[in-house]
Structure 1
Amino acid sequence: MTTLRTRRVPTDRLTQQITEARSEGEPVLFVHGNVSSSVFWHTTLTALPDRYRPLAVDLRGFGGTDPRPVDATRGLRDYADDLAALLAALRIDRAHLVGWSMGGGVALQYLRDRPAAVRSLTLVNPVSPYGFGGTHGADGALNSADGAGSGGGTANPEFVRLLARGDRGEESPLSPRSVLANCYVKPPLRPQHEDAYVESMLTTRTGDDHYPGDSTTSTAWPGIAPGTRGVLNCLSPTRFRIDDLHLIDPKPPVCWIRGEDDVIVSDTSMFDLAHLGAAGAVPGWDGTPAQPMVTQTRRVLDRYAAAGGAVREVVVPDAGHAVHLERPEEFGGALLGALSA
């Protein structure tokens, strides 16, 4: 049985916590999503063959990494630059990157800025290259110039309150455990190690500098626009936008693995205020279209492929947002194929 080791690594930006399975082999860096930590990768780390050196990092403000403030005006570059500092401290020149959800966006930004340092990129139910919320159409056109409908003000305040309180129950449908059970995975599945995943979610730092971040008002529906600090603001399409990935050189292979029934990253996301408005769950909806998140990712990767990059899309049926937890065998097979491409 593979034994995991967790340690904190000082870097020139901050001290970061990592979990690793071994110290030799081709490095594979796993990047977690929002409201989680490297704990969500533990079972994946133990499943990789000995030829690989799997390690998972806690992003700033999550898990055991220093809770430095997040400058949302840089999009996801605070996180991507942290990854570069970590790999430099570990003396790793090139690594395979595996990014889930928001971590997929961090990995995309890392690839965009440092393509020669990436052996391969695996995206797991990634955030759209045009951010989360506030856009329409396959090319990510803004609904409003100020990014209305995205950013820190879009978080459900009750979920934030229960997260900050450390709620471990499921009396509320907005508790971390309920969100894990109903949104991270496809019901009725309850993942193994559920308690550990809830504890991982509860490591999320909350507030304006962390999750969800600050916000501003907007004259455009739904009346809120992104601020300049914190997690959800760096996912705003006015802060994070990768529409020129096809121009990078070199172009490492990209594998896109997604659960077919994801309700978080979807063309009809239950976390997109425009889609919720159309469903009558957000008042005053003015016809603003939902963000086609999957379609947008496909458009960017199609351009990458047309420019000479190798791209593979793997759709896992009957799985949701955390496909690596829900269907580990199918996920593991697809991941190994990506790492050996």
Structure 2
Amino acid sequence: MGLIAVNGVRLHVERGGDGPPLLLLHGFTGSAATWEPLLPALQAHFHTVAPDLIGHGRSDVPADPARYAMDRCVADLVALLDALDIDRAAVLGYSMGGRTALHLALAAPERVSALVLEGASPGIADPDERAARVASDAALADRIEREGLQAFVDAWERLPLFASQQRLPEATRARLRAQRLSHTPRGLANSLRGMGAGAMAPVHDRLGEIAVPVLLIAGELDGKYVEISRAMAGAMPQATVRIIPDAGHAPHLEQPEAFVEAVLGFLVEKRERPART
């Protein structure tokens, strides 16, 4: 679709399909292209709206890290919904996009009809652990700017979190690597500084405010996020957990058919059901 101006920046957005709106939020190093293999199935039921989040893909890359803060990103998404005349949407978010979806639902609950959170967390509750993560992300951001994207992506792909992705078909891994290399060093660095897991405010004590239906998805091989998803579900009034077998941190990539089945089974069932108040 192209660029849409919101709050002084431009977000690249891809749209398609008919039906109720479904906002798709990618993870760190991703873009709207993350969802391309899933779009035929999703767009058979929904009108999908897939932005490149700030600093990613073809969206703007501001110089000020403060412009990437989670509250600013959420405000951009609300403005995007306004620009597209969308009153309320279901939101599917992966990893960083899942954290963003969670914050959107808390900041503007009237704009969210349902949530699907894949490999997402409510932040880092322990102050010391959060400070350590801020320092770690700042060091990584500096390294991205100093050493460039290829060195960063080489190291990123070797993280244990993504070990299961080594089993993906060569063409899928090549497409994923190209997506990771499509950004700018400044965009990824400032995304880490502004809306990394340490930089965002933890929301564990606010999960009970989420009144809409929520589906939490985690890969069976991603033990940390299986535990996080189950803990989050226990704190939400209308949440269920789906564990995708033989998948790690990115079930949408590693087991796309099972992922789509889980998402559509949840959203098609829930979309007409009013949220509890």
- Both proteins in one fold, TM over 0.5: yes
Shift of 1:193: 4.1
Larger radius of gyration: 1
Shift of 1:311: 0.9
> Counterpart amino acid of 1:147?
A
State how far apart, in whole Å, the 2-side matches of 1:88 and 1:18 are. 14
Matches within 5 A, 1:82-101: 82-101=76-95
After superposition, the C-alpha distances for 1:284-305 in whole angstroms (9 at most, x for unaligned) are xxxxxxxxx553443333111x
Contact 1:35–1:201 under 8 Å retained in 2: yes
Shift of 1:64: 0.9
Q: 1:103: which partner in 2?
A: 97
After superposition, the C-alpha distances for 1:174-233 in whole angstroms (9 at most, x for unaligned) are 6178449981753322364443332221233324xx4334xxxxxxxxxxxxxxxx4245
Q: 1:19: which partner in 2?
A: 14
What secondary structure, in the 3-state scheme, does the structure 2 residue paired with 1:143 have? Answer: helix
Matches within 5 A, 1:224-243: 230-237=191-198, 239-243=200-204
Q: State whether structure 2 residue 247 is matched by structure 1 residue 319.
A: yes
Q: 2:273: which partner in 1?
A: none
Contact 1:320–1:326 under 8 Å retained in 2: yes
State how far apart, in whole Å, the 2-side matches of 1:58 and 1:81 are. 15
Match of 2:28 among 27, 31, 34: 34
Contact 1:184–1:321 under 8 Å retained in 2: no
Match of 1:141 among 120, 123, 126: 126
> Counterpart amino acid of 1:83?
L
What secondary structure, in the 3-state scheme, does the structure 2 residue paired with 1:34 have? Answer: coil
What secondary structure, in the 3-state scheme, does the structure 1 residue paired with 2:132 have? Answer: coil
After superposition, the C-alpha distances for 1:142-166 in whole angstroms (9 at most, x for unaligned) are 226x71243423538766666x35x
Shift of 1:71: 4.4
State how far apart, in whole Å, the 2-side matches of 1:19 and 1:122 are. 19
> Counterpart amino acid of 1:206?
P
Structure 1 gap ranges (5+): 1-5, 132-139, 214-229, 268-292
Closer, same or farther: CA 47–114 of 1 in aligned 2, 3 Å? same
What secondary structure, in the 3-state scheme, does the structure 1 residue paired with 2:59 have? Answer: coil
State how far apart, in whole Å, the 2-side matches of 1:173 and 1:57 are. 23
Closer, same or farther: CA 200–73 of 1 in aligned 2, 3 Å? closer
Q: CA RMSD in A?
A: 3.0
State how far apart, in whole Å, the 2-side matches of 1:57 and 1:173 are. 23
Match of 2:176 among 197, 205, 208: 197
Contact 1:32–1:101 under 8 Å retained in 2: yes
Q: 2:220: which partner in 1?
A: 260
More helix, by proportion: 2
What secondary structure, in the 3-state scheme, does the structure 1 residue paired with 2:167 have? Answer: coil
Identity %: 26
Q: State whether structure 2 residue 264 is matched by structure 1 residue 332.
A: no
